[in-house]
Amino acid sequence: MSGPEVLSVRVPGLTNPITYDPALPISLWHDEIARTIAEHQVVVIAGETGSGKTTQLPKICLELGRKSIGHTQPRRIAARSVAERVAEELHTPLGELVGYQVRFTRQASKQTRLKIMTDGVLLAEISHDRDLRRYDTIIIDEAHERSLNIDFLLGYLKVLLPRRPDLKVIITSATIDTDRFAAHFADVDGLSAPIIEVSGRTYPVEIRYRPLLADGEADQVGGICAAVSELTALGDGDILVFCSGERDIRDAAEAITAMDLRRTEVLPLYARLSAAEQHRVFSAHTGRRIVLATNVAETSLTVPGIRYVIDPGTARISRYSARTKVQRLPIEPVSQASANQRAGRCGRVAPGVCIRLYDEEDFAGRPEFTEPEILRTNLASVILQMTAADLGAIATFPFVEPPDGTQINDGLRLLMELGALSSGLGERPRLTG
């Protein structure tokens, strides 16, 4: 029996036809997505990580005749790898039709119609292109991560859209709190933001709880090794292990390597790795591969071929302490939404197994979503950034979830004490010389 037919579309101005992989869930929604984008200024696309949103949506925009697409990613590693992947699917050299830009690196040209960049790069462009005239389409990817940059962009675009009726905005998210994004734009005159839920084929994932001992923090590496032994006994398939940082990755890598597993390759994956080392994770291989990754692999990247996941249930989460006036990166339990995202990584190619190194009661007691960064950061830095970019007063800026007034005044007061702002607690503070 033959599989689903590959959709191939010829687009004026492009040398090669645009094709869509029928194995990706988003391909089944191609017609509805294309029609909705054509009819609306703002569209929210929701779907599980791995459904193909990131790579296929810009191709649909090109098919619709959009001439200059800005596509944001929360992380540099994702911006670069997504650009390479889309360029490969369009059979074009990277830097021509498809380019990318991250901090300190730009590979694009005058011919580039799709530029994939970090959200910080797009935010910086606002300072010299207030109406973002160089783009006719903007895709804000992984919006559910709710970083400061993403919230800044969502707020600014809400103000910009009435001035740019020609601008299309596409917000993509895992199936997390999508109604909030749609409602954010719904009160702009004449705008509605329809939500398209991209559902599709995913395999069942068995969740196994293997809590560590009471002093489990010290024995996390032992828990990971025990989980690796349990999973390797189940059969072939690659394993993705989530770690809180580079040190945890190194410790786990040493311990797993010492297990001397046959035909097994251990690879790290984190943002500071070189491009060549990051590419190893996506290359073809024989035998089993165990990938040790930070939460960059939770939403931003789909590591191919994963059959099993090991989740210690923690991550480094930036948090500001109002008492000590210090921004920290403590290791904290991840939310239920993040834990489910991690588990879903092993249900893409076949039925999977996720081992959680904590118990079911612990999972049930966790918050449903990760708190947005704007609600857990030092607002002095936010106010400084907004003032420098002339984004207006923080108290009136249309954030998806505005911060508390006490936090705002605390940040303004600190900047006053440091001599960074020339006004008091007024609406429009100014930077000092």
How confident is the model at residue 384, as a pLDDT?
Answer: 83
In this model, does residue 301 exceed pLDDT 80?
no
How confident is the model at residue 219, as a pLDDT?
Answer: 84
Who wins on pLDDT, 325 or 122?
122
pLDDT band at 353 (very low <50, low <70, confident <90, very high): very high
Assigned token pair, 12: 């004026």
Nearest to 349 by CA among 273, 240, 262: 240
Is 245 in contact with 294 (CB distance < 8 Å)? yes
pLDDT digits (tens, 9 = 90+) for 89-124: 999 999 999 999 998 889 999 999 999 999 999 998
What are the b/e assignments for 41-70, b being 16+ CB within 10 Å?
bbbbbbbbbbbbbbbbbbbbbbbeebebbb
Assigned token pair, 118: 């970090």
Q: Which helix (H) or strand (E) holds 266?
A: strand 264-269
Who wins on pLDDT, 67 or 280?
67
Q: What is the largest CA-CA distance in the chain?
A: 73
Q: What is the mean pLDDT of residues 284-302?
A: 82
**Residues 6 or more apart in contact with residue 82 via CB below 8 angstroms:** 54, 55, 71, 73, 100, 116
Assigned token pair, 117: 């960049």
Q: Distance between alpha carbon 387 and the CA centroid of its chain, in Å?
A: 26
Assigned token pair, 201: 């084929």
How confident is the model at residue 200, as a pLDDT?
Answer: 62
Q: What is the DSSP string of 47-76?
A: E-TTSSHHHHHHHHHHHTT-S-EEEEESSH
Any idea which of 42-51, 258-267, 388-397 has the lowest mean pLDDT? 388-397
Is 153 in contact with 122 (CB distance < 8 Å)? yes
As a whole number, the mean pLDDT across the chain is 87
In this model, does residue 15 exceed pLDDT 80?
yes
CA distance 140 to 361: 35
How confident is the model at residue 300, as a pLDDT?
Answer: 61
How confident is the model at residue 344, as a pLDDT?
Answer: 86
Q: Is the pTM of this model over 0.85?
A: yes
Any idea which of 124-133, 291-300, 411-420 has the lowest mean pLDDT? 291-300
Is 378 in contact with 320 (CB distance < 8 Å)? yes
How confident is the model at residue 103, as a pLDDT?
Answer: 85
Angle (deg, nearest 10), helices 379-388 and 405-418: 70
Rounded (10°) CA dihedral 217, 218, 220, 223: -120
pLDDT band at 307 (very low <50, low <70, confident <90, very high): very high
In this model, does residue 202 exceed pLDDT 80?
no
CA distance 238 to 64: 38
**Torsion 369-411-381-315 (CA) sign:** negative
CA distance 138 to 61: 10
In this model, does residue 158 exceed pLDDT 60?
yes
pLDDT band at 430 (very low <50, low <70, confident <90, very high): confident
**Residues 6 or more apart in contact with residue 375 via CB below 8 angstroms:** 401, 403, 404
pLDDT band at 390 (very low <50, low <70, confident <90, very high): confident
Any idea which of 203-212, 257-266, 314-323, 336-345 has the lowest mean pLDDT? 314-323
Beta bridge partners of 98: 94, 114
Classify 240 as helix, strand or coil. strand
Q: Give me the amino acid identity at 432.
A: T
